[in-house]
Amino acid sequence: MSYVSLLTLAEEFRLSGEIGLTIQCLSAASQIEDLSNLQKSNLNYLVGKLLLKYGTNKSDCKEYLLAAIQTARNEITDPKMIEIYFQSCLLLADYISLSPTGNSEGNQHHNQQHL
């Protein structure tokens, strides 16, 4: 299946409440060779968003959101990448505000990036 087909199928599953199948479609799309950075960043954003909203372990979303941010930051002049970048940042901020450690986790990550 193509990237677009898998994203379309994932959206159909999401709308019907089948979040597990949605994530499986997105994971399958991520295995396609030769994805553009926009496609990779978008997939990471979508998976991170779903894991934050529906996941039993909210911390699972963090790695996907960080990957989306990192990939988008590399091509920040593209308007679609800017949108993914800021949407991922907002979701990551939501995750940090919900986490039991609060801002300390975000500060630790911020400090590690600048070492």
pTM: 0.83
Q: How confident is the model at residue 101 (pLDDT cuts 50, 70, 90)?
A: low
**Token digits of residue 77:** 């002049």
User: pLDDT tens for residues 38-70?
Assistant: 999 999 999 999 999 999 888 999 999 999 999
Three-state SS for 34? Answer: coil
Q: How confident is the model at residue 86 (pLDDT cuts 50, 70, 90)?
A: very high
Q: How confident is the model at residue 1 (pLDDT cuts 50, 70, 90)?
A: confident
Helix (H) or strand (E) segment spanning residue 46: helix 37-54
Q: What is the dihedral angle through the alpha carbons of 67, 37, 30, 56, rounded to the nearest 10 degrees?
A: 30
Domain boundaries, the chain: 1-35, 36-115
